[in-house]
Amino acid sequence: MRSSCLIVVLVLCSQLAIAQNQKTDWELLLRSIPSPERQREYMQRLSARPHHVGSAYDKDNAQWLLSTFKQWGLNARIESFDVLFPTPKERVVELIEPNKFTATLEEPAFTVDITSGQRVDQLPTYNAYSVDGDVAAPLVYVNYGIPEDYDQLERMGISVKGCIVIARYGAAWRGIKPKLAAEKGAIGCLIYSDPKEDGYYHGDVFPDGPWRPKDGVQRGSVMDMPLYPGDPLTPGVGATADAKRIPLKDAKTITRIPVLPISYADAQPLLAALNGPVAPEHWRGALPITYKIGPGNAKVHLKIKSKWDSKTINDVIVTIPGSLYPDEWIIRGNHHDAWVNGAMDPGSGLAAEMEELRALSELLKKGWKPKRTIVYCAWDGEEEGLLGSTEWAETHAAELKQKAVVYINSDAIGRGFIGMSGSHSLEKFINGVARDIEDPEKKISVWKRSQLQRISSAQSPEERSEVRTRPDLRIGALGSGSDYTSFLDHLGVSSLDIGYGGEDGGGIYHSIYDDFYWFTHFADTEFAYGRALAQTVGTAVIRLADADIVPYQFSNFAETVGRYVSELKKQLEAMQNQIKERNQEITEGVFSATSDPKHPLVPPATEEVPPYLNFAPLDNAVDALSRSADHYDKAAERISQAFVPPSQEALKAINGKLMLTERALTHAEGLPGRPWFKHLVYAPGAYTGYGVKTLPGVREAIELKRWKEAEKEIVRVATALQNEANIIESVARDLDAQPTK
């Protein structure tokens, strides 16, 4: 009896151990599967020909992805949409006065780089969704063409009204440049790649090195994505065959003035022809010329005419049904379309995503049954304006709002440090994942490596000490620039964007030179970080799919929002002090006394000092959020140590509530002036493009000095945060009510 009892106990113990081990084993097994060699093969296949939206090879890649996923035994399908996609018929940039010069607008092939010679399939260099136009006007150099640059021009007494502006790439998303230029009265816009940003200033140029050669051009979309991304003709709804489309003339995301990107070989003669004042020091690039601003007698002719066709895009979607909670979805995506051959962008991220999926398919064959449904997506049309992900998210909006737990994105990657951005309710979770992934170069965890790197680059002793002592590394907030945008900003699905990089530079972004030759000579040449990405995101997907309770955590979120509120207060105070000081200097005559008569500056006008704003509703909301987050942490901790786990029914109810927490941060009416963007905590800035604005309604109202709007937005954000706190509190109470013995 005793001995048999002991045997029973031993058997039970060993079964428990197997169960425990097995849980870990799935993860370990998953991380052992991704293969660098396979990622190399996928990239070579995917980038063998140009594959922009609507091209034959774009479709071919989608079909190949579909059949590959099916071969792995997965349930895969293609979902198609019809979107507006302009391609140029005519492009002209020429200097017509004081001397003649015609821009080549061509990227030459290099013999060592075979795919760079696939001329017939390559999209010409252009900015998609530029309006058609044919203009001739004086040229003005506007540096990066961001708001501060126009403030500087105003001080110098220079207007761009009726002019064509030339801006260099950098400092903000490219679409902001023509948008702002048009608002300032310009009639055309050129954007060029200065060697200071991604050319010879940094190192050898392609094909001797990774940097942008003189004729390399950065293509890219200039659609006004901060207004709404996706098909310009179907805002807010999926671009299905029968969708109601608005007329092209009503599409607000097409630029108001014509815009073309050019190389620095084409830009140099234009810039050299400028006269007028010498550009301020921080406006100067790395070309061997004196940078001047104009306008003078340098006159430019710019013409662009496009075919405004509808093209079919093909998203490849894989579904792995959940065994316990099929209506809770973990969604994972990376795009498959490219501007040209796209080895780095998007091949490096997509090859990793494929290896994750193959690893998951191996696990399924060995008997793994994920509790939640897993949806893997290879998006089409990302480059042109997040077309594939936006149209899919809009088409399935109602279902996604019900079922989506998390969306995880990746895009182009390189060698180096882990990059983690996203919803702060996932900060603790993704830190946990990063602790378990080994860095392929340093053989320490990618988390540790990132922490040490942050110590070395910290800007202050306080920051350094925080990096050393805070349990979690801070993750960045998401703006826009990749396919998470619709999930997070439009639908309120908690999202993450994960990547690696920071060690290699390069200047082939969106050019014909972003190809297999470049990547395998100058980037993650061993595909070691491609493997690390597959291990990282694969681990995250498994944990999210199998966790009993969805692993959101709210105290990091509450603390982060508290920081955002302090930032806003400081920003307002800084504006008040700055305007007070400037007004005083104007009265004292500082500006007229210091202006050099030979290089006169226009004195600024006096301005009303910004009023004090009532931040109390936000302070109270952050307080409530912190309290409920604390309560939730304690309740979740008790459950995690419980002897008897909650019933499946109880878990379903708890997770159902948790899934609503990110949704509670959205508002049906969206942000002021851009109703598509519904998240009240994260959004791309209206004038930064990719760059994030946190608490965007309040922050942008303050920046634009709209004080009434700021007060209104403070209340709206505070209400959303209070609602969030109420949900968290209610889940914490549900957890408290669970028996644990």
**Residue 342 is a binding residue for Zn ion (CB under 5 A):** no
Specify the residue, 343 or 717, whose C-beta has the smaller distance to Zn ion.
343
End-to-end CA distance of the chain: give it in Å, rounded: 28
**Residue 385 is a binding residue for Zn ion (CB under 5 A):** no
Specify the residue, 346 or 697, whose C-beta has the smaller distance to Zn ion.
346
Closest approach, Cβ 213 to Zn ion, in A, equals 21
Closest approach, Cβ 334 to Zn ion, in A, equals 8
DSSP element (H, E) containing 11: helix 2-32
Stretch of residues binding Zn ion (CB under 5 A), selected from 25-33, 93-101, 407-415, 680-688: 407-415
Closest approach, Cβ 689 to Zn ion, in A, equals 15
Count CB-CB contacts under 10 A for residue 561.
Answer: 24
Stretch of residues binding Zn ion (CB under 5 A), selected from 67-75, 307-315, 341-349, 715-723: 341-349
Stretch of residues binding Zn ion (CB under 5 A), selected from 234-242, 410-418, 486-494, 587-595: 410-418
Return the SS3 of 692.
strand
Return the SS3 of 286.
coil
**Residue 337 is a binding residue for Zn ion (CB under 5 A):** no
Closest approach, Cβ 509 to Zn ion, in A, equals 9
**Residue 497 is a binding residue for Zn ion (CB under 5 A):** no
Q: What is the DSSP string of 478-526?
A: P-SSSTTHIIIIIT---EEEEEEEES---S-TTSTT-SHHHHHHHSSTT
**Residue 333 is a binding residue for Zn ion (CB under 5 A):** no
Site for Zn ion in 454-473 (CB under 5 A): none
> 292: which 2 tokens?
């001047």
Specify the residue, 238 or 381, whose C-beta has the smaller distance to Zn ion.
381
Specify the residue, 141 or 518, whose C-beta has the smaller distance to Zn ion.
518
**Residue 380 is a binding residue for Zn ion (CB under 5 A):** no
**Residue 411 is a binding residue for Zn ion (CB under 5 A):** yes
**Residue 514 is a binding residue for Zn ion (CB under 5 A):** no
**Residue 394 is a binding residue for Zn ion (CB under 5 A):** no
DSSP 83: E
Look at residues 246, 254, 249 and name the one whose alpha carbon lies nearest to residue 228. 254
**Residue 384 is a binding residue for Zn ion (CB under 5 A):** no
Specify the residue, 82 or 345, whose C-beta has the smaller distance to Zn ion.
345
Spatial distance between the Cα atoms of 352 and 527, rounded to a whole number of angstroms: 9
Cis peptide bond prior to 295, omega within 30° of 0: yes
Spatial distance between the Cα atoms of 347 and 520, rounded to a whole number of angstroms: 12
Spatial distance between the Cα atoms of 421 and 89, rounded to a whole number of angstroms: 39
Spatial distance between the Cα atoms of 160 and 143, rounded to a whole number of angstroms: 13
Stretch of residues binding Zn ion (CB under 5 A), selected from 29-37, 411-419, 446-454, 721-729: 411-419
Closest approach, Cβ 261 to Zn ion, in A, equals 17
Q: What angle do CA 440, 442, 446 make, to 5 degrees?
A: 70
Cβ–Cβ < 8 Å for 62, 378: yes
Specify the residue, 411 or 724, whose C-beta has the smaller distance to Zn ion.
411
Per CB under 5 A, the list member of 346, 347, 501, 646 interacting with Zn ion is 346
Per CB under 5 A, the list member of 82, 149, 224, 345 interacting with Zn ion is 345
Specify the residue, 160 or 377, whose C-beta has the smaller distance to Zn ion.
377
Specify the residue, 88 or 342, whose C-beta has the smaller distance to Zn ion.
342
Stretch of residues binding Zn ion (CB under 5 A), selected from 260-268, 286-294, 345-353, 502-510: 345-353
Specify the residue, 350 or 393, whose C-beta has the smaller distance to Zn ion.
350
Site for Zn ion in 237-256 (CB under 5 A): none
Spatial distance between the Cα atoms of 28 and 22, rounded to a whole number of angstroms: 9
Return the SS3 of 335.
strand
**Residue 381 is a binding residue for Zn ion (CB under 5 A):** no
Closest approach, Cβ 23 to Zn ion, in A, equals 35
Specify the residue, 336 or 674, whose C-beta has the smaller distance to Zn ion.
336
**Residue 178 is a binding residue for Zn ion (CB under 5 A):** no
Specify the residue, 234 or 410, whose C-beta has the smaller distance to Zn ion.
410
| Start-end of H helices in 345-414 | 349-365, 382-385, 387-395, 397-403
**Residue 483 is a binding residue for Zn ion (CB under 5 A):** no
Cβ–Cβ < 8 Å for 224, 179: yes
What is the β-pairing status of strands 101-102 and 188-192? unpaired
Closest approach, Cβ 30 to Zn ion, in A, equals 25
Site for Zn ion in 637-696 (CB under 5 A): none
**Residue 697 is a binding residue for Zn ion (CB under 5 A):** no
Cis peptide bond prior to 207, omega within 30° of 0: yes
Stretch of residues binding Zn ion (CB under 5 A), selected from 205-213, 296-304, 403-411, 672-680: 403-411
Closest approach, Cβ 335 to Zn ion, in A, equals 6
**Residue 610 is a binding residue for Zn ion (CB under 5 A):** no
DSSP 204: P
> 702: which 2 tokens?
């303050």
Specify the residue, 221 or 255, whose C-beta has the smaller distance to Zn ion.
221
Closest approach, Cβ 522 to Zn ion, in A, equals 18
Spatial distance between the Cα atoms of 635 and 657, rounded to a whole number of angstroms: 15
Cβ–Cβ < 8 Å for 417, 351: no
Q: How many residues bind Zn ion (CB under 5 A)?
A: 3
Look at residues 332, 400, 377 and name the one whose alpha carbon lies nearest to residue 659. 400
Closest approach, Cβ 39 to Zn ion, in A, equals 16
Specify the residue, 378 or 664, whose C-beta has the smaller distance to Zn ion.
378
> 185: which 2 tokens?
């009265």
Spatial distance between the Cα atoms of 732 and 741, rounded to a whole number of angstroms: 18
Count CB-CB contacts under 10 A for residue 569.
Answer: 15
* Binding-site ranges for Zn ion (CB under 5 A): 345-346, 411
